Amino acid sequence: MNNDLIYQGSDLMLDRLPLAAIAKEYGTPVYVYSASSIRGQADRLMQSLGTIGSLRYAVKANANPALLALVFGMGIGADSVSRGEMQAALGAGCPADRIVFSGVGKTQEELAFALDRGIFINAESEEELAAIARLQTGVHVGIRINPCVDAHTHQYMTTGMAENKFGIPIDFAPRAFREAMDKGLVPDTISCHIGSQITSVEPYRKSLARLLELRDSLMSDGIPVSALDMGGGFGINYEGGADFAVEDLQALLHRDVPQGMKLSFEPGRYIMGHAGTLVTRVLYRKRYARTFVVVDVGMNDLIRPALYQAHHAILPVTRRDSELVTCDIVGPVCESADCFARDVSMPLPDQGDLLAIRDTGAYGWSMSSTYNSRPLLPEVLIEDGEPVLIRERGL
């Protein structure tokens, strides 16, 4: 959880600044980020997984240029899944040789863009490998393998099972590596990503065992695999408890991975999730069969609760001692799915009160849209105790 988001008296503060003051200056709804939280999470990764391999931030989690520059300034690379994300990473100061290009549906233009700049590609199908070879031979590539491991996460976040669209099933991997070599490529990396918001090290243990068995088989067949990309997916606790123990994954990999084999990781949510707080204002209350608190932020601004039934704690920006009521926090979008919390117990807010939806730094703004012709939200970064507008409100 973001330890920089705390109450001081009755005022909710982020990095020692009252959120009410930020809402007054920039309006609502507004995304607010803590630079110290980002640095703290990134540092934890660097002190654990960063000691045994390379870290690349998953740009899709949040691609604001100011936040990218902050992360890349710490020496972390970039994981991208589109030309736009590659350009965003390059524009924010990430060297091309520290960017990896993943994604199940790369276009010819995107592949050419990556190859022209020396960006490493993780291929996800045999036909994609052929497309790369038509553009350039002699290039080192990774091949994403689907190890058929259940990550025990939401069905839309699972990416490592046979029914998922990602990667090449592990039983077909030897053929894919051999065909890549025959086409003049150098497939020296096994890539894998089994899902997002993973809370246990066990799926990684199962995946690693299968990938190392594959690696041994490829090596015996004369295919020199020298690197293993474990992907990301490290979960954070949206309930206020402990996050995924990256230190346990570090210990597992340190023990089981052959010496000299290169490792890499692509965390996104783990770095950015806790850093974000979405501040919204209460518009109306409706007390009939249910009690609804209607706020000015909509599912177009934060789709995770509607899409994943995700939980985000909601706190009053000004704490008050009054009778608790059971209510639903809902937005203005014309969909019944536009609900941020159901049956939440809290003091009934007044019209005009501010609420804070916490842990919205990852897959918040980056998944937003202009549905209902609503403008995209502004973003504010708190750095050294000062708020900085890093994206203006607008369409």
SS3 299: coil
Tens-place pLDDT, residues 381-390: 999 999 999 9
The domain limits of the chain are 5-33+274-391, 35-272
Q: Which helix (H) or strand (E) holds 279?
A: strand 276-287
pTM: 0.94
User: Would you state the pLDDT for residue 251?
Assistant: 97
The yes-or-no verdict on residue 102 having pLDDT over 50 is yes
The residue-averaged pLDDT of 56-76 equals 98
SS3 8: strand
* Residue type (1 letter), 52: I
Pairing of strands 379-383, 386-391: antiparallel
Q: Which fold has domain 35-272?
A: TIM Barrel (3.20.20)
Quickly list DSSP for 101-162: E--S---HHHHHHHHHHT-EEEE-SHHHHHHHHHH-SS-EEEEEEE------S-GGGB-SST
User: Would you state the pLDDT for residue 166?
Assistant: 75
Tens-place pLDDT, residues 224-277: 999 999 999 999 999 888 999 999 999 999 999 999 999 999 999 999 999 999
The yes-or-no verdict on residue 156 having pLDDT over 50 is no
Q: For the sheet containing 17-18, what is the strand order?
A: 5-8, 11-14, 17-18
Residue 161's pLDDT band (cuts 50, 70, 90): very low
Of the options 2.40.37.10, 2.60.40.1120, 3.20.20.60, 2.60.120.330, the CATH number for the domain spanning 5-33+274-391: 2.40.37.10
Best CA proximity match to 160, nearest among 173, 146, 170, 171: 146
Q: Please pick, among 94, 148, 334, 339, the residue that the annotation labels catalytic.
A: 334
The yes-or-no verdict on residue 160 having pLDDT over 80 is no
334 noted as active-site residue: yes
Q: Percentage of the chain with pLDDT > 70? A: 95
Asked if 274 and 227 count as a contact pair (C-beta separation under 8 A), the reply is: no
Best CA proximity match to 347, nearest among 315, 325, 314: 325
The yes-or-no verdict on residue 150 having pLDDT over 80 is no
In this structure, the dihedral spanned by the alpha carbons of residues 185, 118, 60 and 84, taken in order and rounded to 10 degrees, is -110
- Going from the C-alpha of 151 to that of each of 1, 154, 155, 160, 260, the distances in angstroms are 22, 9, 9, 7, 27
Best CA proximity match to 232, nearest among 377, 12, 370, 41: 41
Alpha-carbon distance of 182 to 133, in angstroms, equals 10
For residue 366, give every residue at least 6 positions away whose Cβ sits within 8 Å of its Cβ, in sequence order, or none. Answer: 60, 61, 62, 63
Phi, psi at 228, each rounded to 5°: -135, 120
For residue 20, give every residue at least 6 positions away whose Cβ sits within 8 Å of its Cβ, in sequence order, or none. Answer: 11, 12, 317, 318, 354
Asked if 261 and 214 count as a contact pair (C-beta separation under 8 A), the reply is: no
Q: How much is the mean pLDDT over the chain? A: 94
- How far the first Cα of the chain sits from its last, in Å, is 31
User: Would you state the pLDDT for residue 307?
Assistant: 93
Asked if 83 and 385 count as a contact pair (C-beta separation under 8 A), the reply is: no
Alpha-carbon distance of 280 to 256, in angstroms, equals 47
Question: What six digits make up the tokens of 291?
Answer: 């009690």
Alpha-carbon distance of 123 to 104, in angstroms, equals 8
The yes-or-no verdict on residue 7 having pLDDT over 80 is yes
Phi, psi at 101, each rounded to 5°: -110, 110
